[in-house]
Structure 1
Amino acid sequence: MKAVVGKFVLGSVVVVTSLSAYANNDKPADLAIGLAVDQQLSVVVELDNQYRFIIGNQGAAFDYIAKRGQFNTEEPVNWYVGLGGWGEWDDGFGVRVPLGVSYQVSDGWQLYGQVQPELDMHKGWELGVGAAMGATYHF
């Protein structure tokens, strides 16, 4: 239990440090906060529609959204591709490639869903597929 609490505190410190360093920039930040089912029930913090931090019951993850695009529809549906890493509180860590879609529900609110091929590097190399879905509010 102490290891779980220690990892949670370490993850929280990393996120807070990243946010405070980012807040010292002169340009205004596009900040989004929400909930997701990623590392079980998770809190999501997204900066500039590019950096996504996830802390949940099962672990933590970070995704860098490398490319975004729009589908040719009248609906506000976008796609994205990223590169990230994840770690579980008890065991397991690795890299992942999120492939997702997002939908602008209303002004500020956005829903997203993604599928991510994952490479688990804990106790050997194992390929897997994960998924996530969430909702964020952009400030």
Structure 2
Amino acid sequence: MKKLGMTVALLSLSAGAYAQQDPNLKVGLAVDQQLSAVLEVNNQYRFTLGNQGAAFDYIAKRGSFNNPDVPFDWYVGVGGWAEWDDDFGARVPLGLDWQINQNLNVYGQVHPELQLHDDTELQLGAALGVTYRF
């Protein structure tokens, strides 16, 4: 448990140092690891810290639909998650982004998960969040 806490703290500090160099920083709230705080850097790295645990997603590919009537963009990523009860695993977020205005963004995703603690098990998770760009 202490190792997990130290890892999350180091990742948060690293993200904060990187975000000071890059003006594309988003912060917000999500329902991911229960109620969670979200930090997104450079539209590519998403850190989530919540009541149930922590998660990190690397958004590998983004795209848009070729229809002007569809206000959403899509994304695919890879990531990992860990719960405070020592459960952990890998996940693949598949999501939709909705840019409400220049600074406000809403996203939703489903993420197939591979639990790696104790026994290997496939699961399906989901997240819904709102971020604000500074």
TM-score normalised by structure 1 residue count:
0.87
Distance 1:24 1:108 in 2: 18
Selected match of 1:12 from 9, 15, 18 = 9
Listed one character per residue, the Cα deviations across residues 43-77 of structure 1 (whole Å, up to 9, x for unaligned) are: 00001110000000000000000000001232431
Instruction: Give the corresponding residue for 2:120.
Output: 125
Shift of 1:12: 3.1
Within 5 Å, give how 1:27-106 maps onto structure 2. 28-74=22-68, 75-106=70-101
Structure 2 portions without partners, runs of 5+: none
Shift of 1:18: 2.9
Q: Aligned Cα RMSD in Å?
A: 1.8
Distance 1:24 1:135 in 2: 21
Shift of 1:8: 4.5
Q: Percent identity?
A: 54
Structure 1 portions without partners, runs of 5+: none
Distance 1:60 1:87 in 2: 5
TM-score normalised by structure 2 residue count:
0.90
Distance 1:7 1:13 in 2: 10
Listed one character per residue, the Cα deviations across residues 105-127 of structure 1 (whole Å, up to 9, x for unaligned) are: 12210000000000000101000
Q: Which aligned runs of 4 or more in structure 1 are off by greater than 3 angstroms?
A: 6-10
Shift of 1:90: 0.9
